[in-house]
Chain A
C-alpha cells in the first residue's frame, strides 16, 4: 500500500523575464493561489540552482517545473524522473547562473540530499525572448502544466504506478 507521509517540494524554475523560459514561475504562482494540502511546499527557485540544495531537508519528493527543449510543439508536456534526464544530459554544458539545475541535482545526489523521488515537469517553450508574458501557445498550455504538476505532487508515495510514468514520452 502506498504511504502518505512526507513533504513534497514543488520548485518553479526559470527566468520570467525571458517569456516562456519562465513557465516554471508561472506554474508556481498559479499553484500559490490554490488551497493545497499542508505537506506540499512551494518554492520559486528562479535561476538559483545552488539554493535548491539548502531546501531539500525532509523532502520526500521534489517536483521541478521548468522549460525544457524536447524539440516538440510549443506547450508539449513531459513529466520525467530525474534519473532519465540525468542519463541524457549533455557532457558539455553551461549556465549563466553558475550551476545548472541538473548539476545541482547531481550534487544533491552525491551529497545524499536528493529526495527519494525527484522529477521534472518539462514544458516545451515557444518563444524565449525578453518579455514578461507567456507566448499564446504557452498561455494555453498553462492550465495543463499546472494540473500535471499537481498530479505529480499529489500521487501517492512509493506507489508502483506513478502518474508520470504514463505521461513521460507522451
Chain B
C-alpha cells in the first residue's frame, strides 16, 4: 500500500455532517478519523422549565426520522419519573407505532441508501432504470409504513396522538382491520426484499465488537427493559449511566460512548445479536436465508439485520392488531397524577437504543433532562471499524478504499445517512 489520504467532507444529507479522514504513509495507517463538525443543539436545555407533557412534542423534533422513538422515550421517561403505569392497550398501541417507524426508516435506508451501492449504482435514480421492480417494491413498503404511522400516530412523523398517560385518539377496529389487510398484502414484498439482499450480499469484514441492546424476558425488546451486552450482564434502566459511559474527542462536536471496551455498537445488528431468539418466525426465517447468526461482527450486516427487523415488525404488528381486536378498543383517557421524581426511558429506535432521562418537580415542571442518542453511541465504533478496515484493503485503489469506507459508515445508518451519495471527495 502506498501513501495516500482520504478526505471525505460532509458524508451527509439529513441530520448532520460527518467527515471521513484517513492518512496512510508507506502502507501504514497514521490517522483515521470520523469527525462530526455539526453545531450542538441544546435540546436538553430547551426542555428545562417546561411542563412534563411538553417533553414528547419538543423532543420529537430532535429527529425527523426517529420522531416516534423520541416521543416514546420521552413519554416513558416522564411516566417513570411521575410514577405512572400505562394500560395494556396503551402499550400495545405504542409497540404498533414503533413498528411503523422501524418500517419507515429501515425501508428508506436499506433500499434508497444502501441498495444502490450493492448493485453498483451511484444513487436510487439510476437504480430505478436498472431495477424498476426493486424500487417499486420499496415505494409500496414505504407507503404502507407511512399510512401505518398516520393511522396510529395521527401523523406520518412527529406523532400527535400518543401522550404521557395514553392516547388522545384511538384507531377504530375497522381501521385496524384495514391496516391488517394492508400488512398481509405487503408480505410478498418483504419476501422479495429478503431475496434481493440475499442476492446482492454485503462486503466481508469483521472486527470483534461489543453490542448493546434492550432486553425483555418474553419478547424482542423495543420499549423499556434492561440493557444487555453481548459481553454479558444486564443493567437496569435507571442505572444506564453506569453502562453507557459518554466521552468526547476534540475533533468532533458529537458525544461518543463506551461500555466494557473502548467502543460498542447499537442498532439493528446489535438487537439481532442480543435478541435473536425472540425474533418472530418470519424474521427468523429471513435471518437464516440471509445468513445472519449471532454474534455477527460484520458491521455491513447491519443493513441485513434491518431487513430481518422489517419482517419482524410486519409479523409482530399482525399479532398486536389481532390482540387489540380481540380485546376491543376502549377509550381510556390519559389523565395522570404528577409526583416529583426522576425517570429513565429507553426505546430501540431504528438506529439503536435511545435514552431519555427526566427530573420532574411537584408542579410537573421538568428541572433536568439528559438524552443519549444512538448515533452518538456508534461514532467511536465506526471510527475503530474504519481503523481496522483501511489496512485490510491493501492493494485496492484509493477510489475503492474511499467507497468501502463510505459504505461502512452508511451501514451504521447514522442519522446523517441520507448524505452518502452526494460527496465531495478530495485526494491529496
Binding site for B on A (CB under 8 A): 48, 50-51, 53-55, 94-99, 103, 106-107, 110-113
Instruction: Give me 28 A-to-B residue pairs in the complex whose CB atoms sit less than 8 angstroms apart, sorted by A's number.
Output: A48-B156, A50-B108, A50-B142, A51-B142, A51-B146, A53-B139, A53-B142, A53-B143, A54-B142, A54-B143, A55-B143, A94-B13, A94-B422, A97-B14, A97-B418, A98-B14, A98-B418, A99-B112, A99-B418, A103-B125, A106-B125, A107-B128, A110-B125, A110-B129, A111-B128, A111-B132, A111-B135, A112-B132
Asked if B146 and A107 make an inter-chain contact with CB atoms under 8 angstroms apart, the answer reads no
Asked if A98 and B143 make an inter-chain contact with CB atoms under 8 angstroms apart, the answer reads no
Complex CA gap A103/B142 in Å reads: 17
**B64: CB under 8 A from chain A?**
yes
Q: How large is the interface on B (under 10, 10 to 19, 20 to 34, 35 or more residues)?
A: 20 to 34
* Min distance, Cβ B364 to any Cβ of chain A, angstroms: 27
Asked if A107 and B422 make an inter-chain contact with CB atoms under 8 angstroms apart, the answer reads no
* Min distance, Cβ A10 to any Cβ of chain B, angstroms: 18
Complex CA gap A86/B422 in Å reads: 19
Number of A-B contacts (CB under 8 A): 50
Known: A97-B64, A111-B136. Contact between A50 and B112, CB under 8 A?
yes
**B245: CB under 8 A from chain A?**
no
- For A111, list chain B residues within 8 Å (CB): 128, 132, 135-136, 139
Asked if B143 and A51 make an inter-chain contact with CB atoms under 8 angstroms apart, the answer reads yes
**B124: CB under 8 A from chain A?**
yes
Describe A's contact surface by its main secondary structure: loop
- For A48, list chain B residues within 8 Å (CB): 156
Complex CA gap A98/B162 in Å reads: 27
Complex CA gap A99/B123 in Å reads: 11
Complex CA gap A113/B140 in Å reads: 12
Complex CA gap A113/B143 in Å reads: 14
- For A98, list chain B residues within 8 Å (CB): 13-14, 108, 112, 418
Asked if A54 and B128 make an inter-chain contact with CB atoms under 8 angstroms apart, the answer reads no
* Min distance, Cβ A67 to any Cβ of chain B, angstroms: 19
- Please provide the 7 A-B residue pairs with the shortest distance between their CB atoms, ordered closest to farther: A54-B143, A98-B418, A110-B128, A53-B139, A111-B128, A107-B128, A54-B139
